[in-house]
Amino acid sequence: MDRRIFLKKTIISAAGLSVTPLIHHNYSALYGQDAPSNKIKIGLIGCRNQGWSNLKTFLQYPGVECISLCDVDDEWLYQRAAEIEKIAGKKPPQLVKDWRRVIDNKDVDMVIIGTPDHWHCLPLVAACEAGKDVYVEKPLANSIEECDLMVKATRKYNRIVQVGQWQRSDPHWDEAAAYVQSGKLGQVRTVKVWAYQTSKWTLPVVPDSTPPAGVDYDMWLGPAPKRHFNQNRFHYNFRFFWDYAGGLMADWGVHLLDYAMKAMNVGLPSYVYGAGGKFGYPDDAMETPDTLMATYRYPGFNIIWDHACGIGNGLFDRREGVAFFGENGTLLLTRQGWEVIPEQAVNSRSFPYCYPCDSEKKPNTLRIDPVAIRKGGGKGLYLHAGNLLNCIKTRELPNCDIAIGAEVAKLSHMTNISCRIGTALNWDNDKGVFDNKEANRLIKANYREPWKLPKV
Ligand SMILES: NC(=O)c1ccc[n+]([C@@H]2O[C@H](COP(=O)([O-])OP(=O)(O)OC[C@H]3O[C@@H](n4cnc5c(N)ncnc54)[C@H](O)[C@@H]3O)[C@@H](O)[C@H]2O)c1
């Protein structure tokens, strides 16, 4: 098949899109201003933690160069610039505090967005409009409305966007999903997904203070409501405040629920009930629930989400994971690998029952063969970066295309909305609305002036 037609077909079939003029350029000439080097030139927005991990990973590939760094905090901007000098021999020529300068920079081919969740949408839409490809961190955005807008912008401007759910490029996750889809587990009636985190237990209240020197705090807040600086709401801990993020649900939830949906081959549920709150630490500073359980209803099975801050004893003695409970056995999937624990017949027992009790199990009655742990390779992020670099050249959809990131981010917001208003919700996916006015208000992104939700 003609390559252009093939690529168009790949993109259209994967995205369910109408024909759009994506494949028009000679991309080997497009990337890199100076033809001999022909490098993909990267700009990073948000340098402190994951943005930096991403950039370092991209820099492991030949044919990649960082030419622009942006952070509202001088400390991280200059520290990362110095680290790049050690890696690449020179500092990036552009060091800025205003992300719009990265977008204006015509030499930047690809942007990494490593900012807090409330700062994903605007730079992504602007980057797409400026003809740049994007690696954007998960969860895709801080509201359902933004997620939809970002998908629209990506398609309108024909950009390649990879979302930072790097499990999508870590092969053992797809192997496990293929096993679930093989039917060997029998009917799967329940999928449990959990994150039990001892490392994020509580945030003691601290008074507001002045922002640290060298921080453009107004730019850090951006479209979020204006308020005094508080250390608790700043670097890393922004995760636990609604104005900027969605708590453990949106943080870990998108990584794991993505594979519950993928393996079960389903999209968003028509019903969600999230219940939880600040049960463990009612008086600490976090706004998001330290405990949350949610049910997503699908025909013939449920997906269950369960999280706890400050408790480490997750199911199967794993802090985080996804478990598919089938009639023949259970598949357990984590970042470390996957395994299958078969169901086995047991002798009928008399009181007092003893369970689990191996002596009660009938020999030779395993319903399926066990699968001993198949370890992951631990290279998910590296492969995810490589996949995007490849797709930038081929114009095929990347492993975690924006539509995938949007769907699971929306699921995490649906859960939080249900929990916040304290009621189960029905979701009409065609219309993108709940059956509840209060919940529908929380779908919206409310931007603080002068920032405006982009029009696409
Ligand atoms: N994929 C993963 O495995 C993974 C892991 C951790 C974090 N994340 C995601 O990465 C994102 C960032 O999280 P983090 O832990 O790195 O946060 P962080 O607070 O450590 O770093 C965010 C950086 O962005 C900067 N920043 C904030 N607003 C900015 C703006 N307007 N312009 C430029 N810089 C700005 C901050 O100063 C800070 O340096 C979040 O969306 C998070 O969910 C993903």
| Shared domain check, 108 and 7 | yes
CATH of the domain at 135: 3.40.50.720
With respect to residue 65, please indicate whether it lies within any of the assigned structural domains: yes
Q: Which domain holds residue 291?
A: 172-376+410-441
Joined tokens for residue 275: 């219940």
| Shared domain check, 21 and 69 | yes
* 45 within ligand 1 shell (Cβ under 6 A): yes
Please state, in angstroms and rounded to a whole number, the distance separating the CA atoms of residues 301 and 121: 33
| Shared domain check, 193 and 88 | no
The helix-helix angle for 144-156 and 402-421 (nearest 10°) equals: 170
| Shared domain check, 394 and 297 | no
| Shared domain check, 164 and 176 | no
With respect to residue 450, please indicate whether it lies within any of the assigned structural domains: no
* 198 within ligand 1 shell (Cβ under 6 A): no
Helix (H) or strand (E) holding 88: helix 74-88
Reported pTM: 0.92
Pocket probe mutation, ligand 1, options 49, 74, 240, max atoms within 8 Å of Cβ: 49
| Shared domain check, 52 and 144 | yes
With respect to residue 449, please indicate whether it lies within any of the assigned structural domains: no
CATH of the domain at 272: 3.30.360.10
User: How many folded domains does the chain comprise?
Assistant: 2
With respect to residue 83, please indicate whether it lies within any of the assigned structural domains: yes
| Shared domain check, 313 and 434 | yes
| Shared domain check, 142 and 216 | no
Backbone angles phi, psi at 158, to 5 degrees: 55, 50
| Shared domain check, 146 and 43 | yes
Contact of 174 with 376, CB cutoff 8 Å? no
Residue among 294, 22, 292 at smallest CA distance from 131: 22
Residue 186, C-beta contacts closer than 8 angstroms, at least 6 positions apart: 326, 327, 328, 329, 367
With respect to residue 366, please indicate whether it lies within any of the assigned structural domains: yes
Instruction: For residue 82, report the distance from its CA to the centre of ligand 1, in Å.
Output: 19
With respect to residue 455, please indicate whether it lies within any of the assigned structural domains: no
DSSP state of 232: G
Give all strands of the β-sheet with 64-70 in edge-to-edge order: 94-96, 64-70, 40-45, 110-113, 133-136, 161-163
| Shared domain check, 235 and 313 | yes
| Shared domain check, 276 and 394 | no
Instruction: For residue 394, report the distance from its CA to the centre of ligand 1, in Å.
Output: 29
With respect to residue 453, please indicate whether it lies within any of the assigned structural domains: no
pLDDT in tens, the chain (456 residues): 333 333 333 333 333 332 232 333 333 344 544 444 589 999 999 999 999 999 999 999 999 999 999 999 999 999 999 999 999 999 999 999 999 999 999 999 999 999 999 999 999 999 999 999 999 999 999 999 999 999 999 999 999 999 999 999 999 999 999 999 999 999 999 999 999 998 767 899 999 999 999 999 999 999 999 999 999 999 999 999 999 999 999 999 999 999 999 999 999 999 999 999 999 999 999 999 999 999 999 999 999 999 999 999 999 999 999 999 999 999 999 999 999 999 998 776 655 566 555 557 788 899 999 999 999 999 999 999 999 999 999 999 999 999 999 999 999 999 999 999 999 999 999 999 999 999 999 999 999 999 999 999
* Length, in residues, of the chain: 456
Please state, in angstroms and rounded to a whole number, the distance separating the CA atoms of residues 178 and 44: 35
| Shared domain check, 67 and 214 | no
With respect to residue 44, please indicate whether it lies within any of the assigned structural domains: yes
